[in-house]
Amino acid sequence: MTTIAPEGRVDTDYEIVIGLEVHAQLLTKSKMFCACSTDYANSAPNTHVCPVCMGMPGVMPVINQQAVAYTIMTALALNCSIPEYSKFDRKNYPYPDLMKGYQISQYDVPLSRNGYLTVQHNGQAKKIGITRVHLEEDTARLLHHEGYSLVDINRAGTPLMEIVSEPDMREPGEARLYMEQLREILVYLGVSSGRMEEGSLRCDANISVRPRGRQEFGVKAEIKNMNSFRSVERALAYEAQRQIALLREGGTVVQETRGWVETKGITVSQRSKEQAHDYRYFPEPDLPPLLISREWVAGLRARLPELPDARRARYAAEYGVSAQDANVMTEDKALGDYFEQVMAVSRASDRKARARAASNWLLSEVVRLLKANAVPIQSIPLTPAALANLLDLLDKERITGKQAKEILDEAFATGELPEAIVERKGIKPPISDQGELERIIEEVIRNNPKAINDYQGGKTNALQALVGQVMKATRGQAKADSVQKLLRSKLGETPSA
């Protein structure tokens, strides 16, 4: 009898080894080797095609320079080295989605090599090696029906970038983090939409297991069909357990391609390595070699935007926001951009206090409204200047926190400046007169002997009821925290507090 480690438990006898091959469609306007538009997502099948991407004989491909630039930018962001010479190769294999009968790809001299991506896993930074980033063309799409298949050539020839990692990952969760951080980088660079669910970002994984402590790799399986970050993690966790159980039973892992079946939560064999093709790569005779000048590379490097890790670090150093908030505003680039626009128009003297207030309001109240209205932040009437204005009113104690939320609701919907809303509605300033507030509090204390008794008897939540009474008596014109402070000083701390 053998036992399988229960799911979620770290298996101490075996080590998991994972490497990922990620494909990203590039956001160029035209295809890799012809002038057809890549904006085919909402078009009828076979409407974005020409003799080149249909693979007609006698046509000549032309290299899309923007696609080469995007690939080099990605490689630079992943710390790769860029050779001065590169070329395209023909990868031969017969399949109906391949219009020419071959794919133009890169074989032995890719556009880049030897980089790395740093992931933060369990609080530790770990470098994942990048073997290469190269450029190729996407295939057509096959639509399978009962007894026949249709082919849509719109996708054929779309620039496709492949990012190959070293087998450096040791846990399914680490592979997921790598994918998520890689996606962030692609989106920040503006080279890919990064949408796994739409297939513009795809992931194949190589995974093997070996007895802990052994140097040589075990036999690997290639996993396909993972359409979300969650699928990547689930598929690899399943496959690791499958291989470990097999070895425990005295069996052997077969080198093969396996497909992830999302609905069943399992991987199934698709084809064994014996059926693998010999691609007979050779240099693409219809394309010139690529001579990559150092000046061009230096120019691309100089124009790289700020990358996610740099933004995270800057938010902590420059604005003093929490690591968690910095993370949220980095993962969602638009939220971070909005935050920075609020900071750009803010004239508050204490920059860090303003930054914390801005991120708090943005990530709690504004995000709540975004979700409730199902709108992206790019299309809301509330301008960064309006949010900054709301924070100014709070800083000046012109409005209370409770009033600010109500004003925000209106400004979110209409775009009206908070100070204009305050004016229009005749909202009075909060009671700042200490004497008046104390008078109201004493009255509330006189009228609520039971709550006072409860509080002094140790029921701390009775204080909230009293705060509520005071707020009601002041029609919300008092600041809840100062009311609470005054109540405490008048009643004394509770015995149990």
Binding site for Zn ion (CB under 5 A): 34, 36, 50, 52-53
Q: Which is nearer to Zn ion, 50 or 348 (CB)?
A: 50
CB of 59 to Zn ion, least distance (A): 9
Residue 488 CB neighbour total at 10 angstroms: 14
- CA distances in angstroms from 195 to 152, 180, 184, listed in the order given: 20, 11, 11
Q: Which is nearer to Zn ion, 52 or 240 (CB)?
A: 52
CB of 268 to Zn ion, least distance (A): 35
CB of 64 to Zn ion, least distance (A): 11
**Phi, then psi, of 25 in degrees rounded to 5:** -70, 135
Task: Tell me how far apart the alpha carbons of residues 156 and 103 are, in angstroms, rounded to a whole number.
Answer: 10
Q: Which is nearer to Zn ion, 159 or 336 (CB)?
A: 159
CB of 88 to Zn ion, least distance (A): 17
Q: Which is nearer to Zn ion, 135 or 343 (CB)?
A: 135
Q: Which is nearer to Zn ion, 52 or 164 (CB)?
A: 52
CB of 28 to Zn ion, least distance (A): 13
* 3-state DSSP of the chain: CCCCCCCCCCCCCEEEEEEEEEEEECCCCECCCCCCECCCCCCCCCCCCCCCCCCCCCCCCCCCHHHHHHHHHHHHHCCCECCCEECCEEEECCCCCCCCCEEEECCCCCCCEEEEEEEEECCEEEEEEEEEEEEEECCCEEEEECCEEEEEHHHCCCEEEEEEECCCECCHHHHHHHHHHHHHHHHHHCCCCCCCCCCCEEEEEEEEEEECCCCCCCCCEEEEEECCHHHHHHHHHHHHHHHHHHHHCCCCCCCEEEEEECCCCEEEEEEEHHHCCCCCCEECCCCCCEECCHHHHHHHHHCCCCCHHHHHHHHHHHHCCCHHHHHHHHHCHHHHHHHHHHHHHCCCCCHHHHHHHHHHHHHHHHHHHHHHHCCCHHHCCCCHHHHHHHHHHHHCCCCCHHHHHHHHHHHHHHCCCHHHHHHHHCCCCCCCCHHHHHHHHHHHHHHCHHHHHHHHCCCCCHHHHHHHHHHHHCCCCCCHHHHHHHHHHHHCCCCCC
Q: Which is nearer to Zn ion, 88 or 260 (CB)?
A: 88
CB of 52 to Zn ion, least distance (A): 5
Q: Which is nearer to Zn ion, 156 or 463 (CB)?
A: 156
Q: Which is nearer to Zn ion, 64 or 241 (CB)?
A: 64
CB of 176 to Zn ion, least distance (A): 36
Report whether 136 contacts 150 (CB < 8 A): no
CB of 46 to Zn ion, least distance (A): 11
Q: Which is nearer to Zn ion, 156 or 297 (CB)?
A: 156
CB of 157 to Zn ion, least distance (A): 6
Q: Which is nearer to Zn ion, 34 or 247 (CB)?
A: 34
Q: Which is nearer to Zn ion, 54 or 316 (CB)?
A: 54
CB of 8 to Zn ion, least distance (A): 48
CB of 104 to Zn ion, least distance (A): 13
